[in-house]
Each structure stands twice: as structure tokens, then as C-alpha cells.
Amino acid sequence: MSTPTYPHLRLSAGAHDRLGTHRKDDAWLDMRWHDRRSQVLVVSGTRVRPVDGALPWVEPGEAPEGVRVLLGERDGTTYWAVVTGPEVAAAAEGEWYALRGLLPALAGDGATDGALVLHALGLAEWLWATRHCPRCGRPLTSAAAGHELVCASEGGCGRTQFPRTDPAVIMLVSTGEPGSDDERCLLGRSPVWPEGRFSTLAGFCEPGESLEDAVRREVAEESGVVVGEVTYFGNQPWPLPQSLMLGFLGRAETTEIDLGDHELEDARWFTRAEMRDQATAGSLVLPGGVSISRSLIEHWYGGPLPGSW
């Protein structure tokens, strides 16, 4: 597998073969489950318990009862998740973490499990939130190695539900001559963030809307800035609980800021020198390396920057 162009896109690295054609092959699934080389991640509700800072992959025989989710294969090893109820975490010792609490470990140097864990916890979030058929309200049954939910109870409608992924756009908007000392980029801050924390703007794509138009609409709603040209940058899974972050670079056609919908507490234009000096001083706190936002900012800046959340 190729390495992402930008090193901070670690959560997009290390993709595994998801073995989608085997998800309904019960004999094959049983054979692989009983292969002692297989590795299983135990998920209680939507939480995982790290052991000594590492993810606790276990052999199938050590896993509790639960929904078996086939994650896929990498380097000859078959990976699974077993999704149990929250009572497993409640009865066990140690701290269990949701995905956000695991992100620093998944983004560290040498971390290789990011794609597998995002796959596992993304499905766990979906299984946790989708217990009844949205059409008729009857209970759903897991199928296709955890990747489908079927309304199979008596009197049910028989429909199949599939995991959702919500597209979200995240964008670095700039103005001025590209690469010049006077070029500036737009960052904003949420009112719930600590003082000094700024990030790129972001938002969800609406039904019937192109990704490029979602970029333009979100920037206009949050900052009043009009964006013209929009180009694709890269993407990153972000199942918190079920998003895919799609990164873009936008060129501003206006620069006046108007926080019209009050979603942002503040939004500012930064030159590279201002960004560097304030980040060094700690008065500007930028997103951490695990986020595609950091990749967008450092791509525009032209190199690494000090400090992070």
C-alpha cells in the first residue's frame, strides 16, 4: 500500500483487504475464525481497553461472545472485532476508551492499526445506534460478518440496513498571491474551545449538494467569505461517529469576515509569518497531527509548525 502524501494523514494509511466477497461464506468465516493466527479486537459497546498503551489484539479463543465482525486481512493475518454490550467494560478492570481517546496512539510513529480500528469502531458505533428497523421498528439481526443488519423477525419488512458514512468537507481557504509573503489563510475557532485554539473550517455535505458547493456554502455561512475555486486535497476516515472528512483547498473571492450564523466565536486571516510566530509563542494553538486539518495547514504553510492540541 502506498503512503499518504502528507504524513499527518496517518489514519488513511495501512489499509487492509476487507475480504468483502467472503462475508456471507459461513464455512470460510468459521475456518478463519478458528485459525489461531487470527487476531481479535474486543469492543465493549463502542469502547476499547488499551493495555500498556497498545491495542489488545487477542486470539479468537480468548474473545468473549458478541457480534463477530470480519475486518479483513493484512500481511497474511485475518483481523476481527467482537462487539459486545457495554456490560463487558463495566465488569472489567482498567479504563475503556472511545475512539477519540485512542487517536493519539493510532497517530504515533510506527502505529499501523489505525485503519483496522477505525473500521471496527465505525461498525460498532453503527451497531450501537441501529438496533431497530427504521421502516417498521422491529429488531434487526446482524449479517454479512457484521456489515449488514436485516429485519428478519416475524412480521418484519425484510429490509437490509447498511452502515452509513456521512461526507464532511474540511477546507483551507486562502487569499493573496500563492506562495507570497502576503498570502493569508482563514482559520476559525469554536466558542467551546480553549483560548487560542484555531482550526480550518468544516461542515457536512447536504443532500443533493456537490462537495465543492458544500465547501463554498459552509465557508460563507460560518465566516461570510465567498469562495471561488475549490480543489481536492485528500480524505481521512473520521467515524466520530460516522464521518468521512474530505479535505479541500479554496481560493477566497472576498476577505471581509461576518460571523453570520454565530457557529464560530472568531475567524481570522493569518500570514505564514503570523502563524509561525504565534504558534511558537503558544498564543495560536493548531490542531494535532492526527487531524487532516493539520495536514491542510502545514501543506499551505510549507512545512512543520510548532505546538498542537
Contact (Cβ atoms closer than 8 angstroms) between residue 200 and residue 189: no
> What's the pLDDT tens digit per position in 260-294?
878 999 999 999 999 999 999 999 999 987 889 99
Q: Give the integer Cα–Cα distance in Å for 256 and 242.
A: 34
How far is residue 33's CA from residue 24's CA, in Å, rounded to a whole number?
Answer: 14
Query: How distant is the alpha carbon of residue 79 from its chain centre?
Result: 20
pLDDT tens string, the chain, 309 residues long: the values are 333 445 456 666 668 999 999 999 999 999 999 998 999 999 999 999 988 878 889 999 999 999 999 999 999 999 999 999 999 988 888 899 998 888 777 766 556 788 899 999 999 999 999 999 999 999 999 999 999 999 998 888 999 999 999 999 999 999 999 999 999 999 999 999 999 999 999 999 999 999 999 999 999 999 999 999 999 999 998 888 899 999 999 999 999 999 987 899 999 999 999 999 999 999 999 998 788 999 999 999 999 999 887
Q: What is the pLDDT of residues 220-242, one digit of tens each?
A: 999 999 999 999 999 998 888 89
d(CA 304, CA 309): 15
- The domain locations on the chain are 10-128, 130-164, 166-301
Fold classified for 166-301: Nucleoside Triphosphate Pyrophosphohydrolase (3.90.79)
Among 224, 300, 208, residue whose Cα is nearest residue 268: 224
Q: Which three cell numbers stand for residue 75?
A: 500481511
Res 224: pLDDT: 97
DSSP string, 270-299: EEHHHHHHHHHHTSSBPPPTTSHHHHHHHH
Cell 475557532 belongs to which residue? 189
Same fold, 10-128 and 166-301: yes
Check whether the bond before 237 is cis (ω within 30° of 0): no
Pick the CATH number of 10-128 from 1.10.10, 3.30.70, 3.40.50, 3.90.79: 3.90.79
State how far the Cα of 267 lies from the Cα of 193, in Å rounded to an integer: 13
Nearest-angstrom CA–CA distance, 238 and 114 = 11
